[in-house]
Amino acid sequence: MAIFYGFFAYLGLTALFAFLTYHAMFLGLTVSFIVAIFFRNQFEKKWIVSFAISYFFWLGLFYFTFSQDETVPDEPIETTVTVKTVPVIDGNKLQVVISLPDGKLSLLTYYVQSEKEKEKWGKILVPGMNCQTVGVRQIPPEQTNPNGFHYRRYLQSKNISYLFSADRIKSCEKGEPSVFDRIKILRNQGIRIIERFFPNTVSPIISALLFGEKQQIDADLLRSYQQLGIAHLLAISGLHVSVLTAGIYSVLLRFGLTREATRSALLIILPVYACLAGGAPSVNRAVTMAWLIVFLSKWKRKIHPLDALGISFLFFMIRNPYILYHVGFQLSYAVSFCLLLSAPIIRQRKFWLTKIGFVSMVAQFGSIPIVLYHFYEISFLGFFLNILYVPFYSVIILPLSFTSFFLLLFVPFIGSPFVSIVAFLLEVANDFARWLADFLQFTWTFGKPPLFIFLSFYFFFIVGFMLIEHGWEKYRWHIVLSFFLPFLFQIGYVKFHPFGEVTFIDVGQGDSIWIRLPFHQGNYLIDTGGYVRFEEEEWKKQKDSFDPGEDIVIPFLKSKGVTTIDKLILTHGDFDHIGSAISVLSEFEVGELVVGRTIMKKGMEQEVVHFAKENDIAVQYVFRGSYWEEGGGQFFVLAPEMDALSSNDASVVIYAQFGGLDWLFTGDLEKEGEKKILATFPNLEVDVLKVGHHGSSTSTGKTFLQQIRPKVAVISVGRNNRYGHPDERVVEELQKMDVLVFRTDMHGAITFRFFMAIQSFSTMLKE
């Protein structure tokens, strides 16, 4: 029974429909039904039965795999682990993937105690080594903010089941390294050679191009490539594998090997290279497809590239269903699928520059929905830059990088001139990318599309390319409409969303509250969170320190499609409230910075105000009696008193009425400040209280609670924080009054949505 071309690609699509059904039952079943009706006359009955069996098989597998709810004892254990990767040491933080005695992979984290110990573990830890360790095994944390980074799924997509927090590494001894361990050691040696011979400015790029190692790439440069839509050039993909395969094939033939022997050699070399390149999804896909094509060519058989793509997709899915959550996996297969479907149209282009432009356009449109879903913004400059950068990397940089590296291995004195050439060309390209990335108007923030709009992107793009195939002149305006319509859907969804929203963002030990009024009538951010940094020795400092603004608040706001913040309200000068304010002011257009009219402001608050004025951002100083109204909402400032001494009790306190509720946002207000508010506003009552000072014992007095009588209380507090917040007395007092208590350390982000008479609270985590 012959299998038609594209059969395995269709099997892969049934797996995708099953994945969609798992996440959105109604939408997934609807899409699957529509597709089944559309293709009902395209296949024989036996193939339709095969697709149906595949669909239900994958649906069952996803339910079985993703519904597992595992717990592990939260207590120290002493065990022997096997090192599986080369360790990554950033400041005093050491991380390495290990295998536990039960065979499951874990990410071990250990904070080295001295510079000498840091040097020691950096030298001796290699894959295959067995180490005696003491630590705690944990399930990776769940996602705690809407649209935030899902660390657990990221690790699961890499087959890592646990986190292992090591208190100490007692001793290590050499084990018997496997073949894969030896390849990983060779990979690390190759990276060390690059670091030794190439300048520091370009060696991380060469390591990324040849070995898939992107850890050391300068964060600003990587951000520039991402903003411009060309970051894919730094990931090993089909382009790299094609260049390598063609190069090896030509060299082996010139050395006198027969075509048959050359194919056999490639069947060994390709999997080895996948390991050397770090095993990223893009390189695994490209290598698997190339391996299938070479393998079948040995038997005088041909395989359609779509089938090779489908087989590789199914293979990696069956190995680890969580791989579907990996952004690199999604992008690699989506772009490859789009390029293969568009191959007939691409071949119709006669002029080489037109072909490159069309390939760039297909790749861009194939990746846009996924990029928006995960990163919320795209660069329209990327289309033009890919026309420039893709040939530059594929024709010049990649061949020169491979050539210079192999020459350094065997004849270093000949390799040195090549190193200089590659370094010069890359530095010019990187400087140009940095310069262009400064023009932020090329990057448009659209927000995260809901699933139905995400699917509409692909639907309309496919329609557009089908119309191009039938003739650009005939369907010109239909084509333009097909490509722009989903963008209009997304803009309309973000800008004219009828629901209002209040989200208490989980920024750890700090405050950050986002308020969106219905139909985009007002965007307010109260505080930004911030991370208190203590002075450390130079060797302890990490390359990229955590910043709640850059890592949590800014991505959250972009996911909501926010480009303008009407008012950034800073309650007072503590770092955990305003430490990330400059990051937010730098990233968004802020209509007005609102601060209390207080004296003797703390240094951080003065710095933020100065930054705002330097960047022509209006600064409004508010005090008791200040007021504004917007979008049906009313906002009254209850504190501080005019020209009060800057302190927790001089926090900007806002009483607001919107969404059918009365709100009280208190900053770090303490008992003395509460008394002043009660004395001035004796009839004050609220529905929702943002508990002052993270639930500290110095705030939220009994008299205050009895007066304002909240129905809901929200405590913004960090997990296991050093201050012991919130105080047990505060929580008990709230519970005695039958107040519904939400805590960001236990519930993650807390969100209130409202539309007319519809109101609802929701949390990211369940207790």
Q: What's the rounded mean pLDDT across residues 602-623?
A: 94
Identify the bridge partners of residue 136 per DSSP, sorted by sequence position.
165
- Secondary structure E strands in 340-425: 377-379
The whole-model pTM stands at 0.92
| 417 CB burial (10 A radius; 0-12, 13-18, 19+) | exposed
Pairwise CA distance, residues 31 & 26, whole Å: 9
The stretch 735-759 carries a mean pLDDT of 93
Note the pLDDT tens digit of each residue in 155-197: 999 999 999 999 999 889 888 888 888 898 899 999 999 999 9
Alpha carbon distance 733, 727 (integer Å): 10
Mean pLDDT of 266-292: 90
Question: What are all long-range contacts of 434-438, with beta carbons under 8 Å and residues at least 24 apart?
Answer: 434/220, 434/221, 434/224, 436/224, 436/228, 436/381, 436/385, 437/223, 437/224, 437/227, 437/228
Which residues make beta-bridge pairs with 265?
A: none
> What is the per-residue pLDDT for 67?
84
**316-373 pLDDT, tens digit each:** 999 999 999 999 999 999 999 998 888 877 777 777 677 777 888 888 889 999 999 9
Q: 64 with 80: CB under 8 angstroms?
A: no
Question: What phi, psi does 637 have (nearest 5°)?
Answer: -90, 120
Q: Are strands 564-565 and 661-665 parallel, antiparallel or unpaired?
A: unpaired
User: Per-residue pLDDT tens for 40-63?
Assistant: 667 778 888 888 899 999 999 999
Prior bond to 498 cis, omega within 30?
Answer: no
pLDDT tens, position by position, 379-407: 888 778 888 888 888 888 888 988 899 89
Banded pLDDT at 651 (limits 50, 70, 90): very high
Q: How many angstroms separate the CA atoms of 606 and 600, rounded?
A: 9
Give tens-digit pLDDT for 436-464.
Answer: 887 656 788 999 999 999 999 999 988 88
Share of the chain above pLDDT 70, in %: 98
633-639 vs 522-526, strand pairing mode: unpaired
**pLDDT surpasses 50 at 700:** yes
Write the class of the CATH domain 77-177: mainly beta
**750 touches 503 (CB < 8 A):** yes
235 secondary structure, DSSP code:
S
Query: Is residue 399 within 8 Å of residue 243, measured between CB atoms?
Result: yes
pLDDT at 609: 95
447: left (phi over 0), alpha (psi -120 to 50) or beta: left
Domain 500-763 is classified in which CATH homologous superfamily?
Answer: Ribonuclease Z/Hydroxyacylglutathione hydrolase-like (3.60.15.10)
pLDDT digit string, tens, across residues 654-668: 999 999 999 999 999
Mean pLDDT over residues 253-271, rounded? 87
Q: In the chain, what's the furthest Cα-to-Cα distance?
A: 95
Whether the Cβ atoms of residue 128 and residue 82 lie closer than 8 Å to each other: yes
* Residue 1 reports pLDDT greater than 50: no
Tell which residue, 617, 691, 706, has the closest CA to residue 651.
691
